[in-house]
Amino acid sequence: MALYLIGDVQGCDEALVRLLQHIDFSPSRDTLYMLGDMVNRGPGNAHVLRRLMELGSSAQCVLGNHDLHLMAVSLGARKLNASDTIHDILNAPDREVLLHWLRHQHMALQVGNVLMVHAGVLPQWTTEKAMALASEVESILRSDALGDFIGHMYGGMPNQWNDTLTGHDRVRIIVNAFTRMRYCNAEGAMDFFYKKAPENAPNGLMPWFDLPNRLTQNTVIAFGHWSTLQLPPRADVVCLDDGCLWGGCLTALKLDDVHMKDARQAERLHIKCPQSQDPLK
């Protein structure tokens, strides 16, 4: 039995098929953990969702910002962007089945000492806190409150965690951390404007995983979302967005030991994706 963590597919179904063949994935033996942004920008969004649905419990998925965008558009809370390619889902005969499956996926997953999210974890959160907050959002996504929340989901404030937050402000900051975050300042306040690599980051900003007082330092965190990040091998965090959609690779991280303590020990497997776009648009 093997566990595979796979980064942002973004509708590139052909790349996903090739990667599953490359790793010799068997749903009766292995488990996939998808790190969000299953859809949008690529050409095969509905195929990706159907493929993952067919795998049943052998595919466990966290939601990314593009997945939530699909939900918002489907509910009329957001308009399609010029670069969106989710029309195949919105016009599919099984549209409601696909959307129902999507809203029952996760904001975070934990296997042993590995915490999986799409974008990041705020430095003020422990692993236990992160999982509890993920559960709060998941309960809304799966309930009749989804439409009301989606209408208030967008916005960058508040950008700093406080345990006293309630209502839409509380859920919005949780969603932003799990699906949009890249940079924070020294106090742990999120910045959503700078998206490029850390080497040229503005003064006062640092990647969320580099904050010195981050409470998840003893947990291995696997994430995607950041195709421009060239992260050297390190024990505590691993980024699996290798720019599949942008002419890069679709990557799987193989976990033979669910209690892995050091991400550098895990094997990375890649396949090249022919798609080519600008990751900063």
Edge-to-edge strand order for the sheet containing 206-207? 190-191, 183-184, 206-207
Per-residue pLDDT reduced to its tens digit, 175-228: 999 999 999 999 999 999 998 888 889 999 999 999 999 999 999 999 999 998
pTM for this prediction: 0.94
Q: Is the pLDDT score of 279 beyond 50?
A: no
Residues 6 and 98: their CA atoms lie apart, in Å, by 20
Residues 178 and 105: their CA atoms lie apart, in Å, by 13
Contact (CB, 8 A) for 220 and 213? no
Per-residue pLDDT reduced to its tens digit, 170-182: 999 999 999 999 9
Residue among 139, 279, 147, 124 nearest 216 (CA): 124
Q: How many helices (H) and strands (E) does the chain have?
A: 8, 12
SS3 73: helix
Q: Where are the domains of the chain?
A: 3-272
Q: Which amino acid is at 30?
A: D
Contact (CB, 8 A) for 242 and 251? yes
Contact (CB, 8 A) for 42 and 84? no
Q: Is the pLDDT score of 278 beyond 70?
A: no
User: Which 8-state DSSP code applies to residue 106?
Assistant: B
What tokens were used for 39?
């859809």
Q: Is the pLDDT score of 139 beyond 60?
A: yes
Exposure of 90 by Cβ count < 10 A (0-12 exposed, 13-18 middle, 19+ buried)? middle
Q: CA triplet 159, 163, 164: central angle to 5 degrees?
A: 95
Strands 3-6 and 31-34: parallel
The residue with tokens 């809370």 is 77
Per-residue pLDDT reduced to its tens digit, 4-52: 999 999 999 999 999 999 999 999 999 999 999 999 999 999 999 999 9
DSSP 108-134: -EEETTEEE-SS---TT--HHHHHHHH
Residue 170 contacts by C-beta under 8 Å, 6 or more apart in sequence?
Answer: 136
Q: Quickly name the fold that domain 3-272 has.
A: Purple Acid Phosphatase; chain A, domain 2 (3.60.21)
Per-residue pLDDT reduced to its tens digit, 102-130: 999 999 999 999 999 999 999 999 999 99
Residue among 94, 74, 93 nearest 84 (CA): 74
DSSP 171-183: HHHHHHHHHT--E
Contact (CB, 8 A) for 101 and 92? no
Residues 96 and 120: their CA atoms lie apart, in Å, by 29
Where residue 247 falls among pLDDT bands split at 50, 70, 90? Answer: confident
